[in-house]
Chains A and B, each alone.
Chain A
Amino acid sequence: DVKVTQSSRYLVKRTGEKVFLECVQDMDHENMFWYRQDPGLGLRLIYFSYDVKMKEKGDIPEGYSVSREKKERFSLILESASTNQTSMYLCASEGAANTGELFFGEGSRLTVL
Chain B
Amino acid sequence: QKEVEQNSGPLSVPEGAIASLNCTYSDRGSQSFFWYRQYSGKSPELIMFIYSNGDKEDGRFTAQLNKASQYVSLLIRDSQPSDSATYLCAVNEGEYGNKLVFGAGTILRVKS
Q: Is A43 a contact partner of B49 (Cβ separation < 8 A)? A: no
A residues within 8 A CB of B101?
45, 59
Q: Is B43 a contact partner of A94 (Cβ separation < 8 A)? A: no
Which B residues are within 8 Å of any A CB, using their own CB?
Answer: 1, 4, 8, 32, 34, 36, 42-46, 49, 88, 90, 92, 96-105
B residues within 8 A CB of A45?
99-101
Judge whether A84 is part of the interface by a CB distance below 8 angstroms. Answer: no
Bound form: Cα–Cα A75–B49 in Å: 28
B residues within 8 A CB of A107?
43
B residues within 8 A CB of A50?
96-97
Bound form: Cα–Cα A45–B97 in Å: 14
Report A27-69 CB contacts with B as 1/0, cut-off 8 Å: 0001101010000111111001010000000110000000000
Q: Is B88 a contact partner of A99 (Cβ separation < 8 A)? A: no
Residue of A nearest to B45 (CB): A104
